[in-house]
């Protein structure tokens, strides 16, 4: 069990059967499988069999077979054994070898002696036969009991076919290490054969390079998996947030209906109460009249039954007066009325159908070059009490996420301040931070930290967001820097306005570590670091965009002519796929990673007014300074 776990932990398992390799074989694509598993898989692939090839279960690449006319079983058996995999299994596994000769006879006699030439294990009895054979009597053997029952590593490089011959040559045409006998028999027609001593350093260097390539790919895949996991978590969180928003909209619509319902119910109660009071008053008057008529009936009845003429005439006169009063009295009965609820159910249902709580759609992002901009929100950077503000005073923008709150950081050169706009759900709060000098550009240098150039005072200020903006420190610089970008966690890239056609790499104390040539760009006012650690710089005077490596080698120079010519290039950024976004006058253009024009992303028709700074966040939201505002766009399919 310990051996199996050790082999499994070192990835010595077949991806088909998920067990430790048994008789491993490696295909041309360098994927390794058990031969039995590979045979079973190949038999399920008729197209591959028709192509006389063995398909790789992992990458689907086909491996041509040596003898296509032979049965499929022989195709797999003829595959080269994976000596590297088998060697690793021998090194990591505990030996349980039985005697090779006895094993052929169906016996399981433990092997005690290993022949380094034959690469077979023998018991003591079979070893005697091995030594009597003329071809093997001089073979070097090793006692496994002395070497802890494990085959020791031997540096001898012997031919697998001609086991008495050392490997001395390498056939470049066949990419095989061979002996002189193999060369004379099977490789006579090959053109390029070198000595093994000559090839060993080259093969080693090639394998080292291959190892490094795999390490890079492993790192890339690991990062991609980590990023994917993060995106999956974000999708779940985003889905819940969207559901909450839909429920809030529904509750708002329901609240309107409930208010209307309450108004109708109150109206019914009011009208009903009025009618109830009227009828209660009428009932009271009827009860009084009833009592009066009952009393008069008693008097009249007594007069008739008393046999007294005087009493009878007295009552008669009273009845005559009451009859006249009854004829002249008003009927106080309330006007009969019914309270009804009139409605148009069909109209109500049509209105309900027309109610739109909102729309749920997938936002593709700028990497989808067929997407269209949709204005999501506009952040007003003008404070209450501002009496004047230049329309193009907002020079740069960056976005941070601090404790789950999105912070939009905007540089206002006219008022020498930094705007920090905090967005949480639908709440927007704005805080400002005054600078000792006029700010230039802003660069995000950490999760909750940004750096700002102060060219007039030759300083770089570091601001911490807690989440309110707080001036953490300032460092002095030798040059007057405007452009600024973050190269890595410990280095900045800054560009000046002194026609030196270069940018400086600085440490966090403002010291110049090296200068990078920027080609035709003499005064880099906007700088961006790409995903490949290249620099993209723009210059309004030269009307060009240049991409250079960190060693100063020009990747491309974008200086278009005609109707695509740049007029006033400013802010620049890139998408996750490498596409470049550049502000030019009153538009934002999109280029490929190699500097080819793609399209106009935003124009004046999208409400742009003196744009300068741009920023693209991880959620695909695109921020553009425009006038005294920051416009936030999403990009969706039409």
Spell out the domain ranges in the chain: 1-94, 236-353, 372-636
User: Coil, helix or strand for 435?
Assistant: coil
Q: Give the pLDDT score at 89.
A: 64
Report the alpha-carbon distance of residue 108 to residue 100 in Å, rounded. 9
39: enclosing H helix or E strand:
helix 35-43
Centroid of chain to Cα 429: 27
Give, rounded to a whole angstrom, the gap between the first and last alpha carbons of the chain: 59
The owner of tokens 């148009």 is: 344
Query: With contact defined as beta carbons under 8 Å apart, do 546 and 498 qualify?
Result: no
Topology classification of domain 1-94: Herpes Virus-1 (3.30.40)
Q: Give the pLDDT score at 425.
A: 52
* 295-347: pLDDT as tens digits: 888 888 887 887 787 777 877 777 666 665 555 555 677 777 788 888 778 88
Beta-ladder partners of 547:
536, 556
Q: Give the pLDDT score at 1.
A: 40
Distances in whole angstroms, Cα of residue 121 to Cα of each of 110, 111, 115, 136, 148: 9, 5, 6, 13, 14
Query: With contact defined as beta carbons under 8 Å apart, do 465 and 449 qualify?
Result: yes
Instruction: Kindly report the CATH class assigned to 372-636.
Output: mainly beta
1: enclosing H helix or E strand:
none
What tokens were used for 374? Answer: 């949709």
Beta-ladder partners of 398:
409
Q: Could you say which DSSP state residue 110 is in?
A: B
Can you state the angle between helices 83-92 and 2-9, rounded to 10 degrees? 140
Beta-ladder partners of 546:
537, 557
Report the alpha-carbon distance of residue 96 to residue 20 in Å, rounded. 15
Q: Give the pLDDT score at 4.
A: 46
In angstroms and rounded to an integer, the radius of gyration of the C-alpha atoms of the chain is 46
Q: Give the pLDDT score at 417.
A: 84
Q: Give the pLDDT score at 384.
A: 57
The owner of tokens 């492993």 is: 218
Q: Is the pTM of this model over 0.85?
A: no
Give backbone dihedrals phi and psi of 228, rounded to 5 degrees, phi first: -65, -40
User: Coil, helix or strand for 339?
Assistant: coil
Which residue ranges in the chain fall short of pLDDT 70?
1-11, 81-84, 86-97, 147-156, 319-331, 361-364, 383-392, 423-428, 638
Residues 6+ apart with CB under 8 A from 338: none
């Amino acid at each position: 069990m310990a051996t199996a776990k050790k082999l499994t932990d070192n990835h010595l398992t077949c991806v088909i059967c998920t067990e430790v390799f048994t008789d491993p074989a490696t295909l041309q694509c360098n994927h390794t499988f058990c031969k039995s598993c590979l045979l079973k898989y190949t038999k399920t692939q008729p197209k591959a069999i028709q192509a006389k090839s063995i398909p790789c279960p992992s990458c689907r690449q086909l491996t041509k077979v040596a003898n296509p006319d032979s049965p499929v079983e022989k195709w797999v058996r003829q595959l080269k054994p994976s000596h590297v995999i088998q060697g690793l299994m021998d090194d990591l596994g505990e030996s349980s070898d039985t005697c090779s000769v006895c094993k052929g006879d169906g016996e399981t006699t433990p092997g005690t002696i290993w022949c380094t030439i034959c690469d077979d294990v023998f018991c003591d009895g079979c070893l005697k036969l091995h030594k009597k054979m003329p071809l093997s009597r001089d073979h070097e053997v090793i006692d496994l009991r002395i070497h802890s029952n494990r085959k020791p590593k031997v540096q001898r490089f012997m031919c697998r076919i001609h086991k008495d011959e050392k490997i001395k040559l390498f056939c470049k045409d066949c990419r095989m290490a061979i002996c002189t006998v193999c060369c004379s028999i099977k490789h006579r027609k090959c053109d390029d054969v070198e000595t093994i001593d000559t090839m060993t350093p080259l093969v080693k260097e090639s394998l080292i390079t291959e190892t490094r390539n795999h390490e890079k790919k492993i790192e890339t895949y690991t990062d991609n998996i980590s990023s994917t996991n993060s995106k999956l978590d974000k999708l779940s969180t985003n889905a819940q947030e969207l559901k909450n928003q839909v429920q809030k909209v529904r509750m708002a619509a329901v609240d309107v209906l409930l208010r209307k319902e309450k108004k109708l119910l109150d109206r019914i109660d009011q009208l009903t109460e009025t009618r109830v009071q009227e009828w209660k008053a009428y009932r009271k008057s009827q009860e009084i009249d009833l009592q009066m008529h009952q009393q008069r009936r008693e008097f009249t009845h007594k007069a008739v039954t008393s046999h007294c003429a005087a009493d009878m005439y007295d009552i008669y006169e009273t009845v005559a007066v009451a009859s006249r009063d009854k004829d002249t009295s008003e009927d106080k009965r309330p006007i009969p009325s019914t309270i009804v609820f009139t409605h148009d159910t069909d109209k109500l249902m049509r209105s309900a159908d027309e109610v739109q709580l909102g729309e749920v759609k997938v936002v593709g992002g700028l990497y989808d070059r067929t997407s269209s901009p949709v204005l999501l929100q506009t952040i007003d950077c003008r404070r209450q009490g501002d009496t004047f503000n230049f329309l193009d005073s907002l020079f740069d923008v960056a976005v941070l996420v601090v404790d789950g709150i999105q912070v939009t950081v905007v540089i206002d050169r006219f008022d020498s301040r930094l705007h920090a706009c905090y967005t949480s759900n639908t709440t927007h709060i704005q805080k400002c931070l005054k600078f000792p000098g006029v700010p230039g550009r802003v660069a995000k240098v950490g999760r909750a930290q940004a750096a700002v150039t102060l060219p007039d005072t030759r300083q770089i200020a570091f601001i911490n967001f807690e989440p309110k903006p707080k001036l953490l420190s300032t460092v002095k610089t030798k040059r007057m820097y405007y452009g600024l970008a973050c190269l890595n966690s410990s280095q900045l890239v800054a560009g000046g306005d002194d026609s030196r056609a270069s940018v400086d790499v600085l440490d966090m104390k403002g010291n110049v570590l090296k200068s990078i040539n920027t080609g035709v760009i003499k005064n880099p006012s906007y700088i961006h670091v790409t995903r490949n650690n290249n620099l993209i710089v723009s210059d309004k005077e030269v009307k060009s965009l240049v991409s250079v490596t960190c060693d100063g080698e020009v990747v491309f120079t974008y200086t278009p002519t005609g109707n695509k010519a740049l007029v006033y290039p400013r802010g620049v950024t890139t998408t996750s796929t490498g596409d470049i976004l550049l502000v030019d006058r009153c538009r934002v253009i999109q280029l490929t990673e190699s500097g080819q024009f793609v399209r106009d992303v935003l124009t004046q028709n999208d409400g742009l007014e003196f744009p300068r700074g741009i920023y693209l966040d991880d959620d695909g939201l695109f921020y553009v300074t425009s006038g005294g505002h920051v416009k936030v766009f999403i990009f969706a399919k039409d």
